[in-house]
Amino acid sequence: MPKRIQSFANSVLPPNCVFVGPGSKWENHSEVVENPDGTWCVKYGAVTFSHKSREEAEACAVRLYIKYLANDGSQAGQIRDSGGAALVDAAPDELRGMDLACTCELGHECHADVLLEIASWGERLDDLREILDDLFS
């Protein structure tokens, strides 16, 4: 069963693994950052969301990624391109059966988990689109 693994800079990935972290076409455009006062924030384009904990910030970043996939990014902040729909279309063919590598720590929320789920939908992709449309319309 496909899983998420943690990757580090210049890591050699195992066979049947796709890097979905920063710099890849699958990357999450959100950046989770710890503030000097110990609070956390999510930077998404020109928008910043403040949170009390790392867990809240990571969950926010994943929700923003889902929203990006659902509406092409046009309403999830300042990231505006048509990549979201294209990624949803490509995920089943390009990611199904593959492990996904990201720089996020294992045990923490990560957009790679969303991609694993989408990749597993395969022929039920139209059902997924309806769910995403209902969530964000």
User: Helix axis angle, 111-121 relative to 54-71, nearest 10°?
Assistant: 40
User: How many domains does one find in the chain?
Assistant: 1
Closest CA to 60 of 41, 77, 73: 41
Tokens matching residue 7: 């990757």
Indicate whether 5 pLDDT > 60. yes
Where in the sequence is the domain holding 81, given as residue range(s)? 4-136
pLDDT tens string 19-75: 999 999 899 989 999 999 999 999 988 889 999 999 999 999 999 998 888 765 454
Helix (H) or strand (E) holding 101: strand 99-102
* Residue 103: other Cβ atoms inside 10 A: 17
Other Cβ atoms closer than 10 A to 46: 8
What pLDDT, on the 0 to 100 scale, is given for residue 128? Answer: 67
pLDDT at position 18 over 90: yes
